[in-house]
Amino acid sequence: MKNNEIIEIRIPKTVDFDTYNLFECGQCFRWINNDNGVYSGVAFDKVARVYKTDCGYRVKCNKGSYEKVWHDYFDLSLDYAEIRGVLSKEPVLKDALDFGRGIRILRQEPWEALVSFILSQCNNIPRIKGIINTLCSLFGEKIHFDGDVFYSFPSAERIAALSDYELNLLRAGYRAKYIKQVAEKAASRELDLELIDKLPTDEARSELKKLSGVGDKVANCVLLYGYHKLDAFPVDVWMRRALEMQKIDFKGFESIKGIAQQYVFHYIRNYNKS
DNA sequence: GTTCAGGTCCGAT
DNA sequence: ATCGGACCTGAA
């Protein structure tokens, strides 16, 4: 038997960390809010639950997985309060930075980010989440945690091996053939996802754009969310709108403009809802 | 019923 | 190089 001991790690209030802003800002699709405000998620084959407490948050996970996965996944070595300070050199960002306090750029799995953002194109969030959830629950590995069953994100080999019938169960439409082709390339090692990590952002982007279903927007999402290349700047319809409304001067923080993008994206989509 | 959603591809200029 | 239409599906 493996060691299934469950532990809890505290994240103090002083840390920029807010589960709603963090998980609902559009960078990830698999964290579920169990209507009592507790978020559960899977990454790198591990499960965590995140609870809000009076003095911040606590992360419930298997012993060892905090050091191995969650600390990095939540990007806890970066001081986002300080980053907000840097980004606020551009006064236009101020409202978005205040509104999105607690957003961090998660360090997600490159493969998951690649597939997820291919599926996201010209699609709405609830349906994207539905497709990815189906993908994982049908073809991922079962993970038991804290009395519940979760599923890992299926490997490239697994997706490459799917029949047309299985692929159709996802109801992903024309995007299905994209992820199938990309999975075949990754499984055959024609696509080396680890190599991309070592490339500078521009070269990494051109490599990704060679893939079917990957254009500038998706490539930048993969770079930002899957490779933590913080200078990647995804421009989608929302960001285009935001940039039309307000010119943003990136001088002084070109190397982390992707973080600015996340705050602006979240703000432009949600500021009128509160 | 219609519109539209975190775009990309492909063929026609 | 740029541009418009096509593309699956199901929320809203």
Instruction: Point out the catalytic residue in the list A52, A68, A177, A217.
Output: A217
Per-residue confidence (pLDDT) for residue A200, from 0 to 100:
98
For the stretch A69-95, pLDDT in tens is: 999 999 999 999 999 999 999 999 999
One-letter amino acid of A25? C
Note if A217 is an active site residue. yes
How many angstroms separate the CA of A6 from the C1' of B5? 40
- Please say whether the beta carbons of A123 and A246 come within 8 A: no
What is the rounded distance in angstroms from the CA atom of residue A263 to the CA atom of residue A260? 5
Structural contact between residues A84 and A170, judged by C-beta atoms closer than 8 angstroms: no
The nucleotides of chain B lying under 7 Å from a protein CB are: 4-9
Residues sharing a CB contact under 8 Å with residue A180, sequence separation 6 or more, in sequence order: A159, A160, A162, A167
Contact between A163 and A122 (Cβ < 8 Å):
no
Closest alpha carbon to C1' of C10, residue: A127
| Distance B11 C1' – A253 CA (angstroms) | 40
Q: Is A69 helix (H, G, I), strand (E, B) or coil?
A: helix
- Identify the pLDDT of residue A274: 65
pLDDT at A83: 98
Residue-level pLDDT at A98:
98
In this prediction, the residues of chain A whose per-residue pLDDT falls under 70 are 1-3, 274
- Identify whether the C-beta of residue A221 lies closer than 8 Å to the C-beta of residue A234: yes
Show the DSSP H helices in A77-209 as ranges. 80-87, 94-99, 110-119, 125-139, 156-160, 164-168, 175-187, 193-198, 201-209
Confidence at residue A2, expressed as pLDDT on a 0 to 100 scale: 56
What protein residues sit with their CB closer than 7 Å to strand C? A 122-124, 126-127, 130, 168, 171-175, 177
